[in-house]
A and B are shown apart, each in its own frame.
Chain A
């Protein structure tokens, strides 16, 4: 059963520029999905829609059968969806562990030892105590990516969304990061959705949805039918 379902969604900016049209995808738990496509195809827009930062202008997104538009989107973002942004979006004045703790507090979940949990999560993604206590700007890109993943996992969400998680990383680190995502899906039954244009990412996921840019308002390049490929 799918945890997240796109029901013929479309998205246009206020000026009328149409980005997405008639997309109908299904995402289930225990799998890693990749949404791939060329630049301008609307990958990041789709991720924003999935994370509840914006609402579709057409159709609806169902989370666990409920229309995301009708549920508290702050709660949706802080409880059910963990987002790893392309630019990480960590707070630079805080340390790695404090960034993770902040996210735990934002969820409002009653966890007595927040610091301990945050350190465990960071360790899980490969950051030791010493790195955990460093401020964000004192960490490398790969380390920041790991902090972002730990933060996304901090409140134990059902869905993990990652925007170009391997974009700026070397191949070894890319593999390590992808390994984390695969473990999360296969061992912890999370639904992991990765937005990427990287073929390496596409090879290591369970399902792929391919997006292509719309050529014009009238011409629909892609109807949004499932175009899954096993790697």
Chain B
């Protein structure tokens, strides 16, 4: 009790000294509070961002690894090794994808199959290049994307890209708004009825409407024709068609994408296989005219943890190391939080510096403080108060001042942290966007988009610019308050220790004698 009363009186009577001390602690608490709030908000934003996102992922061939493997092999015939490795590790088949989908971590699996077909009958592929030639009735697209080429069937590419969707979930371009049905309706994903969706450009180009029939042919075997019914017409987002990218062949133009159900495309492939012509060239390589499908599956996960666990499960199920599980959601999110992570790192560094400098200042200040109060120590011990109690009183004074200053500093920090952190984040986002713009100017693609993967969906549009997280809700919560109080107590104890050592070393008689 005596310690508390003495401490209170000392604080109340030595306002100047305690205001100075409190101001320093307040500054430390304020800066630490802001740094902790930014750090905590950045971490929360990172966690919440992924928690609220459905994560999709796909298994693709890890070309980098294949190349490394081929290079580390014999060395002399790298290209051939590479080629054979690529052939060995092509995309996974649908049945393999479905086998891996039998997992507790996977919520859903949807897939798309894509193929390339040529125009048949009156139909012409949409092309902005050399319209007059297209209008002359030439069959096939400009460039090397024409109809059948000599010397086997394997390499030919049709005028249209036909994508079959397993379910509505698979139609990501319609889900995301990249494409929108403007006339007619969506085909039935569960039917093999040769119904299709075509783009608005293609419809206008050929004078087609809902209910029109279109004929597509096998680019390897033009006599093999398939008739589709247009049930809907969609428009692509403007950025999709005007991205200005050089397209090799009309099939790559989003306007020439024909969407059907997977079952339709699969039936078509089966029919084509039944009617296929097989040839063997002079090298003994066997080629077939059958339409081949490239399948890409997308797994849906409930959480990032499930996604990570599935990646591990794939290895335990024996998936080759040359395949990897990747997620554009995770990748794009990780890119979007780069400014946040920079901010968080900055806040951590700031916090460490503040605490280190703060600790030194407090220790020095406290030593000066005790030296200045040497006489008081002498008097108190001379009238019979034990040194330990005197030291405890001094620590108590410091603790009270520190706690009050910490609470005030945290309060101001709570108010200041939101605008300060958003301001800092804005600076970070601007720096990041500036870097991205430079990258775009230099390489003609957005920095965050990455190169197209193996999934056909990626081939349909260019990579999207990263939407950076540009606002965080940095606020001082009870955790931060406790952390700050902890920091305050720690700093107090640390700085008091030096003072306590001084108090314990003092000899009251010497102090009083020196003063006399």
User: CB of B6 within 8 A of chain A?
Assistant: yes
Check if B508 sits within 8 Å of A94, measured CB to CB.
Answer: no
Of all chain A residues, the one with the shortest Cβ separation from B376 is A91
Give the distance to chain B from A80, nearest Cβ to Cβ, in Å: 9
Check if A53 sits within 8 Å of B379, measured CB to CB.
Answer: no
User: CB of B274 within 8 A of chain A?
Assistant: no
Contacting residues, chain B, for A76 (C-beta < 8 A): 384
Q: Please tell me the number of chain A residues within 8 Å of chain B, measured between CB atoms.
A: 27
Contacting residues, chain A, for B5 (C-beta < 8 A): 105
User: CB of B380 within 8 A of chain A?
Assistant: yes
Give the distance to chain B from A62, nearest Cβ to Cβ, in Å: 19
Chain B 376-396, CB-CB to A under 8 Å as 1, else 0, gives 101111111110000000000
Evaluate whether A94 and B9 lie within 8 angstroms (CB atoms) in the complex, with A54-B509, A106-B2 already known.
yes
In the docked arrangement, what's the CA distance between A86 and B509, Å? 13
Check if B14 sits within 8 Å of A77, measured CB to CB.
Answer: no
User: CB of B466 within 8 A of chain A?
Assistant: no
User: CB of A79 within 8 A of chain B?
Assistant: yes
Please pick, from B10, B376, B383, B513, the residue contacting A103 in the complex, using a CB distance under 8 A: B383
User: CB of B505 within 8 A of chain A?
Assistant: no
Contacting residues, chain A, for B6 (C-beta < 8 A): 102, 105
User: CB of B317 within 8 A of chain A?
Assistant: no
Contacting residues, chain A, for B48 (C-beta < 8 A): none
User: CB of B512 within 8 A of chain A?
Assistant: yes
Chain A 73-100, CB-CB to B under 8 Å as 1, else 0, gives 0111111000101110111011000100
User: CB of B247 within 8 A of chain A?
Assistant: no
Please pick, from B13, B376, B385, B516, the residue contacting A87 in the complex, using a CB distance under 8 A: B516
In the docked arrangement, what's the CA distance between A48 and B511, Å? 13
In the docked arrangement, what's the CA distance between A78 and B2, Å? 14
User: CB of B285 within 8 A of chain A?
Assistant: no
Check if A102 sits within 8 Å of B384, measured CB to CB.
Answer: no
Give the distance to chain B from A185, nearest Cβ to Cβ, in Å: 22
User: CB of A21 within 8 A of chain B?
Assistant: no
Contacting residues, chain B, for A83 (C-beta < 8 A): 382-383
Of all chain A residues, the one with the shortest Cβ separation from B1 is A105
In the docked arrangement, what's the CA distance between A89 and B508, Å? 11
Contacting residues, chain B, for A74 (C-beta < 8 A): 381, 384-386
Of all chain B residues, the one with the shortest Cβ separation from A82 is B383
Residues of B within 8 A of A (CB): 1-2, 5-6, 9-10, 13-14, 376, 378-386, 508-509, 512-513, 515-516
Residues of A within 8 A of B (CB): 44, 48, 51, 53-54, 74-79, 83, 85-87, 89-91, 93-94, 98, 102-103, 105-107, 151
Top 5 A-B pairs, shortest CB-CB distance: A78-B384, A77-B384, A93-B13, A53-B509, A105-B2
